[in-house]
Amino acid sequence: MRSIGLIGGITWYSTLEYYRLINMEYNRKAGGMHSAPLIVYSVDFAPVKEMTEKLDWEGLSRLMCDAALKLEAAGADCLMIGANTMHHIADRVQAAVTIPLVHIAEAAASAINRQGLTTVALLGTKYTMQMDFYKDKLAQKGITTLIPDENDMLFVNNSIYQEFSQGKFLPETRSRYLEIIDKLAEQGAQGVILGCTEIPLLLKPADCRLPLFDTTLCHSLAAIDLILS
């Protein structure tokens, strides 16, 4: 039986959701009493946050590659990094191991393609929104990406690091997110990528008039499909 290796702790709140979704969806596909063969290596978020804010991608690469190698040595047959922003260094992590890395942006792009959408809004950390590593993966699938203006981008980024990473999911923050989404819809967004694995803990499909793409769920489904193929 093939197993999934998950680098978690980025943050542990979304790692809990990964564990729930992977097991729930694996059971839905495999049936019976089956649960997912899953190995989790949870990193300390404090140094991850510090290195990210310093743009220390070399340090982050060493940390993520070390975690990936430990998961491979433990018997994982594929690898997941449980955070969108850390996929900026996904190529380096993939180069460090021999098992396949399931890329979160590719999983999101496939889900968007299945719904036939061509223009989507991307919400996440400022790194995920501003850098090209995520948008390039979407562009390869024919998807145009819209991001918030500077003030809204700052709000989204701060909410992730100052609220969600501490387990705070506030109704007033949800309301502001919906206002931001409305602005992006006016610019042509047909759907919204929840491009931080904590945002789906704040926003649910019933909250929003546009389709939401929960990257934690998209990522989990792609990994399950891989190990069951």
pLDDT at 11: 96
Residue position matching structure tokens 């942006």 = 105
What's residue 71's pLDDT? Answer: 98
Whose CA is closest to 107, among 49, 25, 9, 12?
A: 25
Above 90 in pLDDT, residue 74?
Answer: yes
User: What pLDDT shows up at residue 1?
Assistant: 75
β-strand pairing of 191-194 with 38-42: unpaired
Mean pLDDT of 145-171: 97
Q: Which domains are assigned to the chain?
A: 4-103+218-228 (3.40.50.1860), 105-214 (3.40.50.1860)
Q: What is the dihedral of CA 179, 185, 191, 193, to 10 degrees?
A: -50
Nearest to 226 by CA among 19, 36, 83: 36
Strand positions, DSSP E, 55-139? 78-81, 119-123
Q: Residue 211 above 80 pLDDT?
A: yes
**The token pair that represents 185 in the structure block:** 């819809």
Reported as half-sphere exposure (CB side, CA atoms, 13 A), residue 57 has a value of 12
**Predicted model pTM:** 0.95
Check residue 171 and give its pLDDT.
97
Q: What single-letter amino acid sits at 119?
A: T
Structure confidence by residue, pLDDT tens digits, 9-22 = 999 999 999 999 99
β-bridge partners, 79: 5, 101
User: Is 104 buried (19+), middle (13-18) or exposed (0-12) by CB count in 10 A?
Assistant: buried
Distance, in Å, from the CA atom of 126 to the CA atom of 11, rounded to the nearest integer, reads 16
pLDDT of 83 reads 97
Q: What whole-number distance in Å separates Cα of residue 155 and Cα of residue 2?
A: 41
